[in-house]
């Protein structure tokens, strides 16, 4: 049993387990070095050997309780046939969907290797990862993937919202297709050796209130139930900035012992659902600052979740300019050293 598996058994500890979202990434010098070998980020993700190395880099440096497999949420649109490139200073850019009929009707993925390489990375990582560490697989939730697939520009979501209004049928069909592909990708990651999975709805807060049910809650419920039907692994749902949806999601999931929820920074001290594993909440900016401020906020978070099953994490991914010494400080604070 890993520490995080124990948390899902509702075993509560003064020193909860800890891992960080985006813990494999640009704040690590060894990551930046490895990254230079791959002009294309997607090629990096598809190279199981390099992806295994990147997955293990933060584990070799810090005493985290979990590794998260090195990949990206955008491997799914890429595998479905929408070429993804990462443009410096601009972030991810996806080729627009040209032929909707082919895109939606494809019974098989245009490029299954992009997802299969992740299953290989999981198998390779499992060989080396110490038994007491958990291994997370992950995927993006339909709404967050659709923002990229339909042309999100920075924090401007007008394109996707207009698309939904003008093409409601296509919007729904795309959502249904994504529910299938995402569920299958999570199940395959668990079958390959992931102990648990996280579903990222990173941009859930951008969904208009009237659509929260149809665009955030329902697709997540369907995915969690599909994964639970076929595997024994826990799922952590992260609908950042829409944590008030958690009670509605929880109410529609039967297997409560296999469900957890992650908190964004603004929700760090709240308990939007009772009786479930909660995770996260520390503001990534506080980790950049370190020192007394970090110590104080960590204590506040630990106190807010004392006596309940909780996994320490950030409220969003670690920032590239985070000092390594502050990550070390955080791990020690949480471990009580
Ligand atoms: O360590 C880990 O957490 C595992 C790997 C991981 C990555 N992306 C690697 C990555 C995970 C879990 C993700 C999830 C992801 N990807 C999300 C959801 C979580 C979140 O942070 O909200 C989202 C929205 C994406 C999409 C994405 N991929 C963005 C917005 C970017 C940044 C683009 C940029 O240039 O700043 C990426 C690229 C990416 N994914 C990097 C890493 C380490 C950096 C790319 C690089 O090294 O050049």
Residue 101's contacts (CB-CB under 8 Å, 6 or more residues apart) are none
Q: Is the pLDDT of residue 107 over 80?
A: no
Mean pLDDT over residues 273-291, rounded? 97
Whether 68 is in the pocket of ligand 1, judged by its Cβ within 6 Å, is yes
Question: Regarding beta strands 66-68 and 235-239, do their DSSP bridges make them parallel or antiparallel, or are they unpaired?
Answer: unpaired
109, two tokens: 């993925």
Mapping DSSP to helix (H, G, I), strand (E, B) and coil, where does residue 259 land? strand
22 is catalytic: yes
Query: In this predicted structure, what is the pLDDT of residue 295?
Result: 98
- Is 27 catalytic? The answer is no
Checking if the pLDDT of 22 tops 80, the result is: yes
pLDDT at 264 over 80: yes
Could you tell me if the CB of 212 is within 6 A of ligand 1?
no
Instruction: For the chain, give the percent of residues with pLDDT over 90.
Output: 92
Atom 11 of ligand 1 has which residue's CA nearest to it? 72
β-partners of residue 200 are 140, 238
| Residue pLDDT, tens place only, 297-312 | 999 999 999 999 999 9
Asked if pLDDT for residue 131 goes beyond 90, the answer is: yes
41 lines ligand 1 (CB under 6 A): yes
Q: Check if 8 has its Cβ closer than 6 Å to any atom of ligand 1.
A: no
Residue 113 clears pLDDT 80, i.e. is over it: yes
Dist. CA 16 → ligand 1 center (Å): 25
Using CA positions, which residue lies closest to atom 34 of ligand 1? 91
Q: What is the reported pLDDT for 337?
A: 86
Entry pTM: 0.97
The residue whose CB lies within 8 Å of the most ligand 1 atoms, and thus the one to mutate among 34, 72, 153, 205, is: 72
pLDDT in tens, 154-212: 889 999 999 999 999 999 999 999 999 999 999 999 999 999 999 999 999 999 999 99
pLDDT averaged over the chain?
96
26 in contact with ligand 1, CB cutoff 6 A: yes
The CA radius of gyration of the chain, in Å to the nearest whole number, is 19
The yes-or-no answer on residue 61 being catalytic is: no
Here the tokens at position 215 are 């665009």
Residue 337 CA, ligand 1 centroid: distance in Å:
31
pLDDT at 90: 84
pLDDT band at 8 (very low <50, low <70, confident <90, very high): very high
Say whether pLDDT at 106 is over 80.
no
E strand map for 96-251: 134-140, 196-201, 235-239
pLDDT tens column, 216-246: 999 999 999 999 999 999 999 999 999 999 9
Query: Can you give the pLDDT at residue 186?
Result: 98
Would the pLDDT of 153 be above 90?
no
Mutate to test the pocket of ligand 1, among 52, 73, 91, 237 (most ligand atoms within 8 A of CB): 73
Token duo for residue 301:
């978070």
Please provide the DSSP assignment of 11-36 as one string: ---SS--B--TT-SSTTSHHHHHHHT
Cβ–Cβ < 8 Å for 232, 191: no
- Integer distance in angstroms from the first to the last C-alpha of the chain? 23
């Amino acid at each position: 049993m890993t520490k995080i598996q124990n948390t899902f058994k509702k075993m509560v500890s003064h020193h909860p387990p800890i891992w960080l979202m985006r813990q494999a990434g640009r704040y690590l010098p060894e990551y930046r070095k490895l990254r230079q070998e791959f002009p294309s980020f997607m090629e990096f993700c598809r190279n199981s050997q390099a992806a295994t190395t990147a997955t293990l880099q933060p584990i070799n440096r810090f005493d985290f309780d979990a590794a998260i497999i090195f990949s990206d949420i955008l491997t799914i649109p890429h595998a479905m046939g929408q070429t993804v490139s990462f443009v410096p200073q601009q972030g991810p850019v996806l080729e627009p969907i040209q032929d909707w009929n082919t895109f939606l009707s494809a019974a098989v993925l245009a490029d299954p290797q992009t997802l299969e390489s992740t299953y290989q990375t999981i198998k390779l990582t499992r060989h080396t990862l110490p038994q007491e560490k958990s291994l997370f697989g992950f995927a993006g939730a339909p709404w967050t993937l659709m923002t990229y697939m339909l042309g999100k520009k920075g924090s401007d979501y007008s394109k996707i919202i207009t698309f939904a209004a003008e093409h409601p049928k296509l919007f729904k069909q795309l959502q249904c297709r994504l529910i299938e592909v995402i569920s299958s990708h999570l199940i395959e990651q668990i079958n390959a050796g992931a102990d648990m999975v996280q579903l990222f709805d990173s941009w859930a807060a951008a969904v208009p209130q009237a659509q929260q049910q149809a665009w955030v809650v329902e697709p997540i419920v369907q995915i969690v139930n599909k994964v639970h039907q076929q595997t024994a692994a826990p799922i952590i749902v992260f609908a950042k900035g829409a944590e008030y949806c958690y009670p509605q999601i929880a109410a529609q999931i039967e297997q409560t012992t296999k469900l957890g929820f992650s908190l964004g920074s603004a929700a760090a001290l709240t308990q939007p659902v009772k009786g479930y594993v909660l995770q996260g909440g520390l503001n990534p900016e506080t980790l950049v600052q370190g020192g007394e401020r970090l110590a104080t906020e960590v204590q506040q978070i630990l106190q807010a979740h004392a006596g309940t099953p909780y996994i320490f994490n950030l409220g969003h991914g670690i920032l590239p300019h985070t000092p390594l010494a502050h990550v070390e400080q955080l791990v020690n604070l949480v471990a009580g050293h």
